[in-house]
Amino acid sequence: MVVGDFPIELETLVVGAGPGGYVAAIRAAQLGQKVTIVDKGALGGVCLNVGCIPSKALIEAGHSFEKAHGNEALGITADKVSVDFGKVQEWKASVVNKLTSGVESLLKGNKVDIVNGEVYFVDSNTVKVMDEKTSQTYTFKNCIIATGSSPIEIPTFKFSERVLDSTGALNLKEIPKKLVVIGAGYVGSELGTAYANFGTEVVFLEGAKDILSGFEKQMTQLVKKGLKKKGATIITEAMAKGVEETDNGVKVTYEVGGKEETVEADYVLVTVGRRPNTSEIGLEQVGIEVDERGLIKVDKQCRTNVSNIYAIGDIVAGAPLAHKASYEGKIAAEAISGEKSEVDYIGMPAVAFVEPELASVGLTEKEAKDAGYDVKVAKFPFGANGRALSLNATDGFLKLVTRKEDGLILGGQIAGPNASDMISEISLAVEAGMTAEDIALTIHAHPTLGEITMEAAEVALGMPIHTL
């Protein structure tokens, strides 16, 4: 390994080029900072390369395959629908490549220097950046750490050709006939649904009492109903014990209700959470404080206990969401520039790209009541909306949680088609301190799913038009 003789001086160093890091770098550059970003992998991080984007591409391909079979209720049937999974993977890769090359263009266009290599902290102003051939020392004035997270590996389920993490599941060369999914949170439920749409027999093993535990039971019930229609099996309160790999598949052992059971499949996908990438970058050399889970402790400006070093995204407390990381990246960049920006997660949405889509923002009814609010809950069904009927997608509802005294919108939950897009209006309402009347008085185009938000607001005001 060749070692650089002299340290290179930097102003702002960003470690990690995922949706937190690259956004932080761009915003810092826009604010006049001279920025260098370092990543050992591809630009865009997990999200763009092996996470959010490729998974949504695979989910969309699954939808297309399912729809291609037609719908007898609409008078449409089809014979001999086939799928070339190799071409599906090629298309998915093309989507990823467009975005990652776009990130590179954006960074260069904002005059951000890009360095490839692995970062190790030497002290509070110095890092070493290493690749296979060289090691270079850099000094910096300020640093934003955005190293992301990695899938948790269960000791009895070591990742292999047949025991997959999310990356492995996204890159299969063929559609499995049968797939076991351990963990039915966001990632497991989304990828399991995608393969179920391709005709895979999917078995979910979930340790909790319900799937998608971050969402209300009324919402997850709809998802379970849809999965069962696709032939999926959902086993809750199940503990995965071990796996035996065979020549052409796996045999998974699990315990449920005090009994040990087995299930055979082509592959097993393990999605039991993610761990922060903080253990091997030299944080102890700097004295940066982490909690028992390895998460870096930060203040409201994303600043660590070392005043010139900031941390964002999956390596700090909170849900491991790409849009949370991007938001925190902007806050950290602005704080370094001397602005008074602080994080405020009140309008932070959560979305699961399952069927129907689930989305939530702000407070749920229970959370609002627990916080001491006197609340009014307004609900409107997709089945009473003209656009939903014309889409033949009527399962679901939109719920607004409002403060009874003045109609202030405290939160909202959506289960239904396009929930991922519709939640943004409620996020804006929560963020801006809007009331149900504000939404009800906003003219929504007809016929659209967006009208459901207006209709729910009118329910909250006690004057609904399209429901009794």
> Distance between CA 362 and CA 346 in Å, rounded?
6
Please name the amino acid found at residue 373.
Y
Q: Is 150 helix (H, G, I), strand (E, B) or coil?
A: strand
Determine the angle formed by the axes of helices 21-30 and 322-336, rounding to 10 degrees: 30
Annotated binding-site positions for FAD:
56, 147-149, 314
Question: 356 preceded by cis ω (within 30°)?
Answer: yes
In a domain, 158, yes or no: no
Same-domain pairing of 124 and 16? yes
Q: Is residue 465 domain-resident? A: no
In this prediction, residue 30 carries a pLDDT of: 98
Of the pLDDT bands very low, low, confident and very high (cuts 50, 70, 90), residue 132 is confident
In a domain, 467, yes or no: no
Last residue in a domain, options 272, 303, 336: 272
User: Looking at the structure, do residues 36 and 95 belong to the same domain, yes or no?
Assistant: yes
3-state helix, strand and coil shares in percent for the chain, rounded to the nearest 5: 35, 25, 40
Same domain for 145 and 13: yes
Does any domain span residue 156?
no
Q: Is residue 65 part of a domain?
A: yes
Share of the chain above pLDDT 90, in %: 97
Do 92 and 118 lie in one domain? The reply is: yes
CB 35 within 8 A of CB 11: yes
Which position has the token pair 């959506």? Answer: 414
Mean pLDDT for the stretch of residues 444-462: 98
Same domain, 145 and 279: yes
Neighbouring CB atoms inside 10 A of 38's CB total 22
Residue 2 has pLDDT above 90, yes or no: no
CATH code: domain of residue 411: 3.30.390.30
Instruction: Examine the domain organization and report whether 143 and 285 are in the same domain.
Output: yes
pLDDT in tens, 293-314: 999 999 999 999 999 999 999 9
In a domain, 95, yes or no: yes
Q: What is the CATH number of the domain that holds 16?
A: 3.50.50.60
Of 226, 251, 272, which closes a domain?
Answer: 272
Q: In 366-428, at which residue ranges do the beta strands (DSSP E only) sit?
A: 375-381, 397-403, 409-415
Query: What pLDDT, on the 0 to 100 scale, is given for residue 247?
Result: 84
Query: HEC string of 419-452?
Result: HHHHHHHHHHHHHHCCEHHHHHCCCCCCCCCCHH
Average pLDDT, the chain: 96
Q: 325, 318 in Cβ contact below 8 A? A: no
What is the mean predicted confidence (pLDDT) over 164-173? 96
Check residue 417 and give its pLDDT.
97
Residue 366 lies in a domain: yes
Q: Are residues 447 and 385 in the same domain?
A: yes
Q: Which of 313, 345, 377 represents a domain boundary (last residue)?
A: 345
Written as six digits, the tokens of 152 are: 């948790």
Q: What is the pLDDT at residue 4?
A: 59
- Nearest to residue 240, comparing CAs of 275, 215, 265, 223? 265
Q: How many domains does the chain have?
A: 3
What residues form the annotated binding site for NAD(+)?
A: 183-190, 206, 273
Q: pLDDT category, 446, cuts 50, 70, 90?
A: very high
Question: Residues 63, 69, 444, 446: which is the catalytic one?
Answer: 446
**pLDDT score at 3:** 60
Residues 254 and 205 in one domain: yes
Q: Is residue 26 part of a domain?
A: yes
Catalytic residue check, 466: no
Above 90 in pLDDT, residue 58?
yes
Q: One-letter amino acid identity for 290?
A: V
Averaged pLDDT for residues 254-271:
97
What does the pLDDT look like over 324-367, one tens digit per residue?
Answer: 999 999 999 999 999 999 999 999 999 999 999 999 999 999 99
Which residues participate in the annotated binding site?
56, 147-149, 183-190, 206, 273, 314
Mean pLDDT of 374-402: 97
Range of the domain at 390: 356-460
Chain-centroid distance of CA 118 in Å reads 25
Same structural domain for residues 170 and 90?
no
Q: Are residues 179 and 134 in the same domain?
A: no
State whether 24 and 122 are in the same domain: yes
23 three-state secondary structure: helix
Does residue 141 share a domain with residue 60?
Answer: yes
| Cα distance between residue 267 and residue 181, in whole Å | 9
